[in-house]
Amino acid sequence: MLVAEDVVIDDFSLYPKDQFPKSEEKNEIWGIWSRNFFSTDQYKVREEEGGNKYLEAYTDERIKEKKIDEEEEVEMDVKVVRLVKKNKFEAQVTPYLRWKWRVHIFPTGSEENVQYLNDTAASVYVYFLRQVGSPKIIQYIWSRALPVGSVFKNPSDNGDFPTYFKIIRSGPGPQDEKGLQWVQEEVNVYQDFIDIYVKENPDIYYKTLANSEKVLDLPPVMGIGVLTDANNTATEAKADYDDFIRSDQSLH
């Protein structure tokens, strides 16, 4: 149940089912962030029993690989399609980001810490504005096999979009007689930015006041995104996402 301090970023209830999450009437839209490769087929709003709508992400790179081999249209690294939504906020004011997710298919043999195996069934990322250059990104990952708590730089990062991975869940999710169950997640994006980026380069994240006191000055969050991909392993991946909320209070 929501409390006054909760802000719903998206619960996918506004969008038509079986379509890309877009509702111009309500001025609500998710955007594609990709390298020269545009496709909305990977992400669709679905409706489950009871009427709840959610975001489904599915990619089968085995089909794409065959098409690419035949047509020679695009290279491997341009097929990663990220879904993003602008939602500006100050992380120190609403530090907690929550969502629900579940994983149906993990990319076969994927390992996010190895460049040529760097695929993930489900991930949610937060991008922070920078005065100069590309945004700083923290990507929260549900990994096939890596241990929870692992934090490392994206091995595929070429410097365009500085990204750190944080493994927050690993392995298959819970099931019951009805099938896969939703898993509630909560992260503290404010503390994670301090632990990752501020500790890496503290000088650039402090400002000096008139009384010479130094205070922490973090960039604002510009939005969130999701990524389900299987391009490096040339396999398939499928996951669902729902109920993105930011809050100044933890559920724990």
Rounded mean pLDDT, 52-72? 70
The helix (run of H) or strand (run of E) holding residue 63 is: helix 61-71
Q: What percent of the chain has pLDDT over 70?
A: 84
Residue type, 168: I
Q: Which CATH class is domain 7-247?
A: mainly beta
pLDDT at position 151 is: 98
Kindly report the average pLDDT of the chain as a whole number.
86
What's this model's pTM, rounded to 2 decimal places? Answer: 0.89
pLDDT at position 60 is: 86
pLDDT at 145 over 50: yes
Q: Where exactly are the structural domains of the chain?
A: 7-247
Rounded mean pLDDT, 150-163? 87
pLDDT tens track for 213-246 = 888 889 999 999 999 999 899 999 999 999 999 9
pLDDT at position 34 is: 53
Exposure letters 21-53 (e unless 16+ CB within 10 A, then b): bbbeeeeeebeebeeebeeeebbbbeeeeeeeb
Separation CA 1–CA 10 (nearest Å): 15
